[in-house]
Structures are given as structure tokens and as C-alpha cells.
Chain A
Amino acid sequence: MTGVAPPQNEPSLSSSIAVSMKGVEKWYGKFRALNGIDLEVRRGEKIVVCGPSGSGKSTLIRCINRLEPHDEGSIIVNGIELDGSPTTTQDVRIEVGMVFQQFNLFPHLTIMENCTLAPRLARGATVEAAERLARRFLDRVQIGDQAHKYPSQLSGGQQQRVAIARALCMEPRIMLFDEPTSSLDPEMIKEVLQVMEDLTDDGLTMICVTHEMGFARRVANRCIFMDKGEIVEAGPADSFFEAPRSERLKTFLSQVLH
């Protein structure tokens, strides 16, 4: 496992486990998307999930905030078990931010409104408080001067940075990234990865589905390789890339690293 010390200032009551999955299964009709997933993610840990397409990586992280309901097993996020009731789902979603491959900014709202909507509706923040918060995170992703624009007026990289700021405005403890750079032009990938790397100092728990192997090496405490709905191999980034144990990961790496 990782050699990283758990973050400080941990409340003594809550455990040091951010996400715990036990025997999680997910079926789409007769297709088994997740097959007996056991995974524990500690507070502040940065995890990169990779694997061939259709291997269940996206399904895995979408189960964590219940965008996909799981069929078997248990998922506990920040001490809350996802049992399907609307209130627990809501509680978990407030604690977990998510960034999507397609940005999914609300096209009819300005950048500022995109960022303030959730704090106002889900946390009951006032407009002023929500805008102060949004301003802070938009500055942090270096997009503060575009706050009055609409998403369609920004480049892909800028939109994705706004999406990150929008998720951060809910001040989540856990961030999920679902292939955040996969639909970006090459020159924009770097600016988004840079923003994501900056977040790692915050003690956020990050779970990131990505094929950016350089990013994985620099940031990840642990890399997870999935294939056919199973976690095939997990380990610290260095040994994961330099000395893969399983044949499937060796094949995958030889196809990805070129």
C-alpha cells in the first residue's frame, strides 16, 4: 500500500477511510459492469484508475456518488452508507464533487451562475456568500475574469477548469474525475492537469479515471488497473508502471505508453 501519512487535523470521531467498497456488483441487464469490487480509499489519498474502455472504471466512480445505483455489496462514503434512500444520496453528493469528460456546464447560465447555483440551492448560501466563494475558486483555476461569460464562449480547457471550480464551490471532501482530459485538444490538456495537480495540496481525496500516465506518476498515491469489471492490479505508481505483475496490465501499458 502507500507510504503516505494520513492528513493531519483529522476529527477523531470520523474514521480515516473516505470511501469503502465491499463486494460491489453492477449489472446492465445481463452485462456485469462491476464484479466484486473491494476498494478502500483513505482520506487525502490520490487514486488513479485506468483500464481499457468498457472495463468499468467510469461505472466504479459513478457508483461512489450514486449516479449509478449498485446492485450488490456495500459502499460507504464518509461514513454514510449508500442505501438508495434520497436523503443519504443527497448527503453523499454534497460531500463528493464530480468532474465529467464532457464538462457538462449549464449552457444557459453564466460561469458565475454555474458556480453559485449549487451552493445556493443545496447549502442555502446567500447570493453574496456564494459569489464570494465562486470568485475564490474561479481565481484559483485562473478564470476569474471570465465569470460574466457563458460556457459556449470559452475554450474546452477553460470550460473544464470552470467545471472543476463549480465542483469545488460545494467544498467537497472527495473529488471524482471521470476522464477529465479525454475530450480536450492536446494543448489544453496541460492547463487542466495543472489545475488538478494544484488541488493535491489541499488534503482532498481524489479519485481520477484518466489515461494521463505522466499525471498518474506525479500525483497518484495508488494506481488501480481495471479490466472486465474487476480490479486486476493496484499499487504505488512507480511499481505499477515499472514492474506490472499481471499479464493484462503489461499488455495494457504496452498499448498505452507509446
Chain B
Amino acid sequence: MNALVIDFALVWESLPAMLNGLWTTMLVTIIVLVLGLIFCIPLTLARMSSNRVFALPAAFFVMFFRGAPLLILLYLVYYGFGQIEALRDGPLWFIFGSAFACAVIGLTLNHLAFMVDVVRGSLEAVPAGLSEASNSLGIAPRDTFRYIQLPLAMRYGIKAYQNEVVMLTKGTAVISVITIIDLTAVANEVFERTYDPFTPMLTVAAFYWVLVNVMRLGFRRLESHLNRHHAAEDARRNEKPVKTIGSLLFHPSSWLKAKRSMLVARKEHAL
């Protein structure tokens, strides 16, 4: 073993397999996110409905799948459903027989259960007065939801959603237990072949890190686009005497201050 923890030759050699694994991880993540976005709105509306026929099943869904451990859920979907003969011989076996589809189902159920409360909290944060104003203008409830409540809820909920997306992305690592060769599975394979734990694990960790941070940058752009109605206000609020780069670099306390004022601005955005 050389002095370095990471064997770059091994990294280079396993790179194609890792990129394949990364692709699988990204594919699963994107499919689950899209399914989550499609289903979370109707499910949240059912959860918030005053009609118990809708509200109770939705509440039960959230309670069950938020509490169910993801790993166990995946085992149940992939290995459990295979034990049911009717399902095995039925028309839907092409779904339940596929490890990839089972992974997507398990992750989506889990992701949705968390999304419902993210969306619900954001919708409830929209001031009632704005819906009232919209209603009083003769805008139909459906349009009020589409043009007022939903766009504002997106702005309030985007931080919580970003957390949920990051957790999901890293959480997809568990699908390696049901035979899917994702990024984590590739690392594990390389480790088992070479008995070098550091090189493959640190490499995939770097891949995950980059993936998550690319997402973060995307969210930042999206957020500043959504919050453009605050832009002019912030410019006014943040007017400060000009500082030279030197004074900024040599006084670490100014870093803290800058960071703090950014945090404050963020918080005000959220309101």
C-alpha cells in the first residue's frame, strides 16, 4: 500500500462502473422526484380535505409510510410481493418483478409521505387574507389555488423541499440491497474485489457530494428567480459603505457579519 489513502489507478480503473452507478442513482432520484411532484398535490389536498373519506386514508398513508423503515419497505416490496402467487401470475408482474421498479415504488411511497407535510405546511403558511382577497375579486377557488396559493406555497416550501430532495438523493443508496447496481453498490463491489475500503468509498462520497451540491446551486437559482419580487427591496436594505477586498479578507469578523446578514435576508425571504 502506498502512502496515500487513495489509489488513483484504482479510481481511474473503476471510473466507468462508477459513472454507470451514478447514472442509475440519478435516474432513480429523478423518477422518484417527478412521481413525488405529480402525486404530492392531490395527496396533500386529500389530507387537508374537510371530507373524512379523503382525509383519513391520506392521513393513514402519511402515518404508515413515514414510520415504515425504508430498508424494510424495499425488502417487503421486492421480496415480499414475489411470494404472492396471484401477483406473480398477474399482469402487473413486469413491475413487481423488476428490482428497479420496486426501488422506485418503495422510495416514492417514502418520499411522498414526507412531501405531504412539506406541501401542507407551505400551503397553510399562505396568509388567509390573500385567498380572501382573491375570492372577493370573483376569482374561482380553483384559480385562486393555481395562481395565488400554489405559487406562494412554492416560495415558502422550497427550503424544506430542498432538504427532502437531498435526503432522498443520499437515501437512494439503500436500493443496492435489492440487487440494483447504483453508485453505492459499485463502491461495494470494488471494495470486495480489492479489499481497499478508502478508494471506492471516498470516490463515491465525492460523487454524492458533487451531485448534492449541483442540486443546491440549481435550487439557489430557482429560489432567486421565485423571490425576484424581493430583489429591489433587498438592494435597498443591504446598502452599505463600500469595503475594499483587503479589509474583507484580513478581518475574519467581517466574514461572520456578512454571513449573518445573508442569513437574516434569507429568513426575511421566507416570510
**Chain A partners chain B:** yes
Q: Does A215 belong to the interface (CB within 8 Å)? A: no
Q: Does A170 belong to the interface (CB within 8 Å)? A: yes
A90 CA / B137 CA spacing, docked (Å): 9
Q: Are B232 and A166 in contact (CB under 8 A)?
A: no
Q: Are A167 and B137 in contact (CB under 8 A)?
A: yes
Q: Are B151 and A108 in contact (CB under 8 A)?
A: yes
Contacts of B230 in A (CB 8 A): 150, 152
Count of chain B residues with a beta carbon within 8 Å of a chain A beta carbon? 24
Q: Does A117 belong to the interface (CB within 8 Å)? A: yes
Binds B, one of A98-106, A135-143, A248-256: A98-106
Q: Does A96 belong to the interface (CB within 8 Å)? A: yes
A152-B229, A153-B233, A167-B137 given; A107·B152 CB < 8 A:
yes
Interface string of A148-161 (1 = CB under 8 A from B): 01111100000000
Q: Does B38 belong to the interface (CB within 8 Å)? A: no
Q: Are A117 and B139 in contact (CB under 8 A)?
A: yes
Q: Does A206 belong to the interface (CB within 8 Å)? A: no
Q: Are A104 and B233 in contact (CB under 8 A)?
A: no
A116 CA / B160 CA spacing, docked (Å): 32
Binds A, one of B4-12, B40-48, B140-148, B203-211: B140-148
Contacts of B248 in A (CB 8 A): none
A108-B229, A152-B229, A152-B233 given; A100·B140 CB < 8 A:
no
Q: Are A102 and B229 in contact (CB under 8 A)?
A: no
Interface class of chain B by DSSP: helix
Contacts of A129 in B (CB 8 A): none
Give the number of residue pairs across the A-B interface with Cβ within 8 Å. 79
A135 CA / B229 CA spacing, docked (Å): 21
Q: Does A67 belong to the interface (CB within 8 Å)? A: yes
Q: Are A90 and B134 in contact (CB under 8 A)?
A: no
Q: Are A153 and B232 in contact (CB under 8 A)?
A: yes
Q: Does B130 belong to the interface (CB within 8 Å)? A: yes
Q: Are A65 and B136 in contact (CB under 8 A)?
A: yes
Q: Does A93 belong to the interface (CB within 8 Å)? A: yes
Chain B: minimal CB distance from A25 (Å): 22
Contacts of B111 in A (CB 8 A): none
Interface string of A51-67 (1 = CB under 8 A from B): 00000000000000101
8 Å CB interface, A80-139 against B: 86, 90, 93-94, 96-98, 100, 102, 104-110, 117-118, 121-123
Q: Are A170 and B137 in contact (CB under 8 A)?
A: yes
Partner of B138, one of A93, A105, A109, A152: A93
Q: Are B130 and A106 in contact (CB under 8 A)?
A: yes
Contacts of B147 in A (CB 8 A): 117, 121
A100 CA / B148 CA spacing, docked (Å): 17
Chain B: minimal CB distance from A146 (Å): 12
Chain A: minimal CB distance from B267 (Å): 15
A104 CA / B132 CA spacing, docked (Å): 8
Contacts of A166 in B (CB 8 A): 137
Q: Are B136 and A97 in contact (CB under 8 A)?
A: yes
Q: Which residues of A contact B (CB under 8 A)?
A: 65, 67, 86, 90, 93-94, 96-98, 100, 102, 104-110, 117-118, 121-123, 149-153, 163, 166-167, 170
Q: Can you list 16 A-B contacts (CB < 8 A)?
A: A67-B132, A67-B136, A86-B141, A90-B138, A93-B137, A104-B129, A104-B130, A104-B133, A108-B229, A110-B229, A118-B138, A122-B140, A149-B232, A152-B232, A167-B137, A170-B137
Q: Which residues of B contact A (CB under 8 A)?
A: 127, 129-130, 132-141, 143, 147-148, 151-152, 155, 226, 229-230, 232-233
**Apart from A106-B148, A122-B137, A163-B133, what are 19 other A-B pairs with CB-CB below 8 Å?**
A90-B138, A93-B137, A97-B137, A100-B133, A104-B127, A104-B130, A104-B133, A107-B152, A108-B155, A117-B134, A122-B139, A123-B138, A149-B232, A150-B229, A150-B232, A151-B229, A152-B232, A152-B233, A167-B136
